[in-house]
Structure 1
Amino acid sequence: MTAPPEWMRPPRPEGWFAEDLDRLPEAPRHTELIDGALVFRMSPQRVWHARVVTALTTALTGQAPEGVEVDREVTIRLDARNRPEPDILVNTAPVDFKRTWFAPEDVLLAVEVTSPESEHRDRTVKLRKYAEAGVRHYWLVEEEDDRPVAHVYELDEPTRTYVPAGIFRGTLALRVPFPITIDLDSLLRTTR
């Protein structure tokens, strides 16, 4: 077994901090920081995941009101030791093309599309961490019989936990964080 590359060694005994992610050009794409530990997405993404993320990004962008932006694969700096990377985030921050992270108060919605590798983190760790940081809305999109199913959560401010707002199959229709209607079954339509 070979020693890990030097860049993988934490810069201090306490581990990694949020700002360290911006100083790791050698790190694989989609590196996240969870509780001071680097988390790498090492397995290749499936076409199902890629198409759902792309189609949802397009649908949300087309329905977002003025002043609301939709980005994908950018981290949220939840605190000094946590910078997870949702598949999609909807935000109200001023546009800055050099930005590498968003603050939780700027994020209206974080969307995770599960994959076998991320399923546990998306369902438990990220669900809890996004809520505790104050991210107002969270969608967990899962695969059921090859179709996307959206589990929608809304933040309960007093408890800083998410409450289920619905499980959507076929059509997702919501009034918050802005009026949204998405035909979930059409997200995977092919041209054939």
Structure 2
Amino acid sequence: MTVEAVTPAWMHQQITAAEYESWSAEQCAGIEIVDGMVVVSPSASKRHNRLARILANALDAAGGPDWNADTDFDVRLQDVPLTNRRPDVVVYRADTIDVIPTRPEHVLLVVEVVSPGSETTDRIVKVDQYAKAGIVFYWRVEQTATGVPLIYTYILDPATRTYRTGEMHTGVVKASAPFATEIDLAEG
């Protein structure tokens, strides 16, 4: 029996935006689409999800009425070939809450919490994709053996469409951009 015989056809061919939009929320959960191909993500740990939730709640409060922060939805980076990423936290314009798909021009900040198996993607691949899409801020949260996370912040250089390294925080994020906020992740 071949691999193709035991796995769905969509795992072996590029899908279009129209095909993806016809799928149910259950079919879209736990996947990203990269260059039209489905990429299945393993379930995140409880610690990973807690860090994302703490960040989303704090950024949502700091963003005021103009910005929302949330978890677990797609950001459409490009239509052809289809590339949808599902950042751990997305800060987006509040007036686009009902606009689907969420596009880079709606997004101010994305956060990725690095987990075993996502190291290269979160540290290299997504950084490049988010920068080329024009998302102004990128934060990467590294989980450590001590349990106190390291947070790396990046800001877009619009001329080169690459990120410049910002500040690094240990356990507590004291950021002035994109909002003045203090977020204690040491308890995450």
User: TM-score interval w.r.t. the shorter chain?
Assistant: 0.7 to 0.9
Deviation at 1:100?
4.7
- Normalising by the residue count of structure 1, what TM-score does the alignment of the two structures yield? 0.85
Contact 1:142 1:149 in 2 (8 A): yes
CA distance in structure 1 between the partners assigned to 2:65 and 2:186 by the alignment: 27
Q: 1:101 is paired with a residue of what secondary structure?
A: coil
| Residue in 2 that maps onto 1:88 | 89
| Residue in 1 that maps onto 2:109 | 109
Contact 1:109 1:135 in 2 (8 A): yes
**Residue 156 of structure 1 pairs with residue 157 of structure 2:** yes
Q: 1:141 is paired with a residue of what secondary structure?
A: strand
Alignment of 1:159-178 (within 5 A): 159-178=160-179
- Normalising by the residue count of structure 2, what TM-score does the alignment of the two structures yield? 0.87
Relative to structure 1, is the Cα distance of residues 151 and 40 closer, same or farther in structure 2, using a 3 angstrom cutoff?
A: same
CA distance in structure 2 between the partners assigned to 1:36 and 1:7 by the alignment: 10
Segments of structure 1 that go 5 or more residues without pairing to the other structure are: none
Alignment of 1:1-192 (within 5 A): 1=1, 2-8=5-11, 10=13, 15-25=14-24, 27=27, 29-41=29-41, 43-80=42-79, 81-97=82-98, 99-144=99-144, 145-186=146-187, 188=188
Structure whose residues are more often helix by fraction: 2
- Paired residue type of 1:117: G
Deviation at 1:137?
0.3
CA distance in structure 2 between the partners assigned to 1:24 and 1:9 by the alignment: 17
Segments of structure 2 that go 5 or more residues without pairing to the other structure are: none
- Paired residue type of 2:20: L
Residues 134-184 of structure 1: per-residue CA shift (max 9 Å, x gap)? 000001101122221111110000000001101110321122112121122
Give every structure 1 segment of 4 or more consecutive aligned residues whose post-TM-superposition deviation is greater than 4 Å: none
Q: 1:77 is paired with a residue of what secondary structure?
A: strand
- Paired residue type of 2:147: D
Q: 1:185 is paired with a residue of what secondary structure?
A: coil
- Paired residue type of 2:108: L
CA distance in structure 1 between the partners assigned to 2:43 and 2:30 by the alignment: 11
Q: Percent identity?
A: 33
CA distance in structure 1 between the partners assigned to 2:68 and 2:128 by the alignment: 24
- Paired residue type of 1:27: Q
